[in-house]
Amino acid sequence: MNFKNLDKSTTFETIKSLAKINLQDSLNPERIQTYQIKTGAGLTYNYAAMPVEESHIQAMQTLSEELQLVEKYQAVLDGQIMNPGENRLVLHHLTRGQIGKQVVADGEDKGEFYKAQLSRIAEFSKAVRSGEIVGSTGKKFTTVVQIGIGGSDLGPRALYLALKGWADASAIQQLNAKFISNVDPDDAQATIEELDFERTLFVLVSKSGTTLETLTNRDLMIQAIKESGVKGIDPAKHLVAVTSKTSPLASSSSVLDAFFIDDYIGGRYSSSSAVGAVILSLAYGFDTFKAFLDGAHESDVAALNPNVKENAALLDALIGVYLRNVLKYPSTAILPYSQALSRFPAHLQQLDMESNGKHVNRDGQTLSYPTGPVIFGEPGTNGQHSFYQLLHQGTDIVPLQFIGFSDSQYGKDIEVEGSTSQKKLNANLVAQIVAFAQGKDDKNPNKQFSGNRPSSLLYAKQLTPEVLGALLAHYENKVMFQGFTWNLNSFDQEGVQLGKVIATKVLKGCEGDQILKAFADLL
């Protein structure tokens, strides 16, 4: 397979020589209607306000073929080793349905392994939700609390919040879900103080079964249960684990049950595995989680199309490379006009920056070009009254990715001055796209807007489980395609480890490191 650095591509040199697009001149109704791609579950990617035209797209098609981007994706699906740093397969796509060849690793069919775990989670969540499985004092569970960190928290938390309004409006029976992630004891205590322990089920997520922050919060929780004074309560009957089959938690008597993941599912890609399945199935029912998986699978299938004009994740990725490596824009803002997606930008921060925040290629050689951008964002119109000032008139141009929906989740609204709140929300979204692209002339320099600030739009009728799955998979696949283009290993995260190692050293008394001790003494 053709793995080479982007700066060795003759096609990329062609792309760099193409004329820069003036959005103020190029935007028109026909372009807005045609520069878009459906990507599964009713989700559409519109790139009309991105600074590309047919010549760019044709060159991107050639670049995709030269770098074999879709073939590399197929290699992921077929179970080839695509994480060279850790010599591992990359199998998160397989958790939502098989597309490629049968994948056998560790002496087992991995597709069947993931399906078996889903089946166990479906049965367990049904038993808990129906009251067949109850707490140690005989009371039905009404709350589920996930204890995890990083990918074990950000993704599942973002997805839970994203579906809350839809579940309420659909009259879905629910367990209230909460999350503890930070080793800061105030984070855990703020949640613990709200809990009725007799009716709470905890989900401990640690692949290794040894994650320090997660086990610390588990022990803090167990201590709180023991000190609660509830007669007969047994913490082990209120705790399940999501872990690997080889971890200490897998067969521990300290947990009610254990559901398995493996080393081929990276934390930031784990929301469609047992990491997300357990808490989301308990909270909203397994059928809701299955619908989410179906939407993700649709988007995964669409990402196999070799035609960039019909592959939203691939074209989004290549336009992103153009913005980063030709136009030299160092950051990207994710702007969902949906309060339900309030934590989605935080999840995408980890997904993108942990995957493609790399300075060496797959062979460990230093790269000469920039890679992953800084990702940030906030939902709705709040951002307009916050950091949009810099986005509109600052000295740096920041590419924007808007997310919007025609209908709200709850379907409850009020008409004021001729329009509903949802109409007002979407009017703001549309206005921002046009304002960023076209700008505004004014005799007063303070009121001038230069325009030519690029954006894209991902939109659907409503944020449902299927659409959420497609949205998540779109971004996962976009990040993957960009990693292939930059010749990175997007599936390891060595940058996370150094701080952990040094923190352990601090806890051991700094081991003679005077600089470390000087800082430690400040706290």
Residue written as token pair 């739009």: 457
What digits encode the pLDDT tens for the residues 37-68? 999 999 999 999 999 999 999 999 999 999 99
How is residue 427 written in tokens? 């009017």
Q: Determine, yes or no, domain membership for 137.
A: yes
Among candidate residues 158, 162, 157, the one with its CA nearest the CA of residue 144: 157
Among candidate residues 326, 293, 275, the one with its CA nearest the CA of residue 469: 293
Q: Determine, yes or no, domain membership for 264.
A: yes
What's the DSSP call for residue 76?
H
- What radius of gyration, in Å, describes the C-alpha atoms of the chain? 24
What local confidence, expressed as pLDDT, does residue 213 receive? 84
Q: Determine, yes or no, domain membership for 245.
A: yes
Among candidate residues 412, 355, 452, 424, the one with its CA nearest the CA of residue 50: 452
CA atoms of 157 and 180, how far apart (whole Å): 10
Question: Are residues 312 and 302 in contact, defined by beta-carbon separation less than 8 angstroms?
Answer: yes
Residue written as token pair 């925040």: 357
CATH number at residue 160: 3.40.50.10490
Question: Taking the alpha carbons of 32, 463, 288, 237 in that order, is the dihedral positive or negative?
Answer: positive
What local confidence, expressed as pLDDT, does residue 53 receive? 97
Q: Determine, yes or no, domain membership for 330.
A: no
In the chain, the number of structural domains is 1
The yes-or-no answer on residue 237 being catalytic is no
Compute CA distances 137 → 233, 234, 237, 252, 342, whole Å: 6, 8, 9, 21, 36
What local confidence, expressed as pLDDT, does residue 329 receive? 98
Among candidate residues 45, 16, 33, the one with its CA nearest the CA of residue 315: 45
Q: Determine, yes or no, domain membership for 79.
A: no
Compute CA distances 394 → 258, 306, 389, 391, whole Å: 51, 38, 7, 6
Question: Taking the alpha carbons of 88, 93, 96, 102 in that order, is the dihedral positive or negative?
Answer: negative
Please tell me the number of Cα atoms within 13 Å of 287 on its side-chain side.
7
pLDDT tens string for the chain (523 positions)? Answer: 889 999 999 999 999 999 999 999 999 999 999 999 999 999 999 999 999 999 999 999 999 999 999 999 999 999 999 999 999 999 999 999 999 899 999 999 999 999 999 999 999 999 999 999 999 999 999 999 999 998 999 999 999 999 999 999 999 999 999 999 988 899 999 999 999 999 999 999 999 888 888 889 999 999 999 999 999 999 999 999 999 999 999 989 999 999 999 999 999 999 999 999 999 999 999 999 999 999 999 999 999 999 999 999 999 999 999 999 999 999 999 999 999 999 999 999 999 999 999 999 999 999 999 999 999 999 988 899 999 999 999 999 999 999 999 999 999 999 899 999 999 999 999 999 999 999 999 999 999 999 999 999 999 999 999 999 999 999 999 999 999 999 999 999 888 888 888 998 999 999 999 999 999 999 9
How is residue 402 written in tokens? 């808007």
Where are the alpha helices (H) located in 87-153, listed in sequence order?
Answer: 110-130
What local confidence, expressed as pLDDT, does residue 385 receive? 92
Where are the alpha helices (H) located in 202-255, listed in sequence order?
Answer: 212-226
Question: Are residues 338 and 161 in contact, defined by beta-carbon separation less than 8 angstroms?
Answer: no
Q: Determine, yes or no, domain membership for 277.
A: yes
Specify whether the backbone of 138 is left (phi greater than 0), alpha (psi in -120 to 50) or beta.
Answer: left
CB atoms within 10 A of CB 357: 16
Q: What SS3 state is found at 257?
A: strand
The yes-or-no answer on residue 474 being catalytic is no
CA atoms of 128 and 286, how far apart (whole Å): 11
What local confidence, expressed as pLDDT, does residue 380 receive? 83
CA atoms of 38 and 311, how far apart (whole Å): 8
The yes-or-no answer on residue 86 being catalytic is no
Among candidate residues 251, 262, 259, the one with its CA nearest the CA of residue 277: 259
Compute CA distances 462 → 47, 53, 403, 459, 473, whole Å: 20, 29, 11, 8, 17
The pairing of beta strand 108-109 with beta strand 104-105: antiparallel
The model carries a pTM of 0.97
Q: What SS3 state is found at 374?
A: strand
Q: Which of 385, 415, 443, 508 is catalytic?
A: 385
Q: Determine, yes or no, domain membership for 470.
A: no
Domain encompassing residue 276: 94-290
Q: What are phi and psi of 135, to 5 degrees?
A: -70, 175
Q: Determine, yes or no, domain membership for 396.
A: no
Q: Which residues, 6+ apart, have CB-to-CB distance to 240 below 8 Å?
A: 124, 201, 202, 203, 204, 255, 256, 257, 258, 259, 278
180: part of which helix (H) or strand (E)?
Answer: strand 176-180
What local confidence, expressed as pLDDT, does residue 25 receive? 93
